[in-house]
Chains A and B, each alone.
Chain A
Amino acid sequence: EVQLVESGGGLVQPGRSLKLSCAASGFTFSDYNMAWVRQAPKKGLEWVATISYDGSSTYYRDSVKGRFTISRDNAKSTLYLQMDSLRSEDTATYYCARHLRGWFAYWGQGTLVTVSS
């Protein structure tokens, strides 16, 4: 059974940093592109970043480029999102997701990030 378990969310002040993790199991992690997708409270879904199966390619939405870094450790079957210079508009539930081509076949349960002073 595919499982994706996020951790690392919490309350953080504007301008500070936070690092999210996603532990994967039930599939060969190194075979799949992975992504982070977020959802602000009571809002829609917003793709944040994608990393290729081997970590050689990364893609970001413009609003997080230069502030967020997606990475992975295939030996540990873990996906990461380093978030720096956080803003109030980054407040959201962050989901880890496994790619199926350009779509998202499996999702974690999400971790809430709240950016507030």
Chain B
Amino acid sequence: DIQMTQSPASLSASLGETVTIQCQASEDIYSGLAWYQQKPGKSPQLLIYGASSLQDGVPSRFSGSGSGTQYSLKISSMQTEDEGVYFCQQGLKYPLTFGSGTKLEIK
């Protein structure tokens, strides 16, 4: 199985700050990576797929990059509504696997 390791486990950011979350795969996943945001009590929402493609309706302050085994999600200007837990997921091979999540809070 492909293991997905996310870092950090949690972080706090000020309004307007740039935030970066990392995700490392245990093998090359050829940009087969997605990022999700989950708010308390809600279902996850797809933000980024194919490592860097923005899902329809997602604000442009979210961006994804990376290749091979190393990927990152960037929020260019932290907003209040960006609080939540962020998960990465590889979509290359079954079993499809998720990172353990990064909890993002406002400082």
Contacts and interface: CB of A to CB of B under 8 A. Distances in A.
Contacts of A100: 46, 49
Q: Is the interface of B mostly helix, strand, loop or mixed?
A: loop
B49 to A, nearest CB: 5
B91 interface: yes
B53 to A, nearest CB: 10
Contacts of B43: 95, 107-110
A47 B46 contact: no
Interface stretch (B10-18, B20-28, B96-104): B96-104
Interface residues of A, number: 21
Nearest to B44: A107
Interface string A31-68: 00001000000001111001000000001011000000
Interface in A63-111: 95, 100-110
A41 to B, nearest CB: 12
Contacts of B98: 44-47
A109 to B, nearest CB: 6
Contact of A45 (B55, B89, B92): B89
B101 A47 contact: no
A109 B99 CA distance: 21
B49 A103 contact: yes
Given A45-B44, A50-B94, A103 B89 contact: yes
Contact of A103 (B38, B46, B94, B99): B46
B84 interface: no
Interface of A: 35, 44-47, 50, 59, 61-62, 95, 100-110
Q: Which 6 A-B pairs have the closest CB atoms?
A: A102-B91, A103-B34, A107-B43, A47-B96, A45-B98, A103-B91
Given A45-B36, A59-B95, A104-B46, 19 more contacts: A44-B101, A45-B38, A46-B98, A47-B98, A95-B43, A100-B46, A101-B50, A101-B91, A102-B91, A102-B96, A103-B34, A103-B49, A104-B34, A104-B36, A104-B44, A105-B46, A105-B49, A107-B43, A108-B43
